[in-house]
Chain A
């Protein structure tokens, strides 16, 4: 007690006995250190890929050189990759599948979330929980029974099989995000709209979707990422190179015989990672706002 009083009385002693300023400084040092370590861990693989993709085949094979430095940079692998009709096919397949999956996912999950969060009907709570539980089943467990189903429908070795199957991964999570987001919209807003004369579809289109736009963008980015980066399902369902998406095409088709074309693989993988990076850069703020809104406002 007396020590505290003394400190208050003699501000000059602050520096010696510890102060807010000093504590903040330590907190900042600690945060920067952890952030730098995390950044190194996450950035090392892509940087390694970038370095490798810029090396000539000879430089790559030279064991005496550092793998992290490029001596004579070349874009030959990028050129070869972009001229490879197979690679362009992979890219088109990924784009078609992703576009369709995102569209299907958003239509289903916005409608489902609106119904589950706003319309009270028998079993709506159980259904909402059920939606989330399906998300907890990993795709590594599901691909065997799904193989039977997709095969039964004659959609093996076709991107349409992927368009059918990916929503099982994206719809539950997106619905869950949207339920949380819709729940954070005050109930009086729909009541005001009801009294103003809006029907349920009008309420969804004119009030809920515009107000929940950050949540919808977050869900869209999630669906985009999942279907762009899906690996297990295409590995299981697709063996024909013309139907492959980027994720498996790059690692399986850019191998000649038993020779790995590392330069092209790395260039292809980096090019494949470009669209998600672009999407994230532009929509990152919405994504974070959308994911946290339900938690803080609800």
Chain B
């Protein structure tokens, strides 16, 4: 008797290989042609190897950012879908991205007068604020974490924060407004390793939680009562899932802005490939999500070359029709 998991392990390994391939090859695409052999040619010192400098300093951070953001959003999508027991949930359903966007808008608009620079920490702070508010709303009247109330609180907060975003944008001058709009489209205009290093700790903490969550999320799919009857502490699983997935989403959005659809397309495709077991779906989604966003970013940089599109437009153009197909496929 082979373990059902074993059959799908080659697929997960294959997705990992595709991700590595995408990360290594995508920096080769760009206005200046570089040679992969020369990049890794150790006989040329790094200071005089222009190809290696372009590869490692100018382009690789962007590829890694795509991988980090894509993998994190896909994994967070899986966890939110498991928590809400709904394959149509996204990392942004519960208001994390609205909070992050509000934080970023405030930082961009009033940046000069605020103590910190850059939109990233502000968006992460906004995300955490939104998460806290949603959690307090969802637990205010129930001892447990009611997923229905969670969903309602998230949707309400989403529209309330959208109103605040419009208000902040109304106060902004033209130049800031332009930057704000660009941020909201979601793009991976990363030119150094610093934003990655900033987001990495939060992503790492979340991923540790995801490893622990994988099996309890399977049982949660049977329903909260049935999971509890099998010895699961449902409340602690739900709480861990909610906070870790929110933290991961907040960190990803702080790097790339609210890039849409990765968190729903990728988990869905992965389930078609490896089945429903979260112990496979989570790693497979991380790898496919990472590879997918890196490839989307290559498209964003090349389809209208020399103009660069925000990658969020590419994922939305692919994701919108895909989402409809999913809805129609489900009865």
Q: Do A and B come from one complex?
A: no
Identify the B interface with A (CB < 8 A): none
Identify the A interface with B (CB < 8 A): none
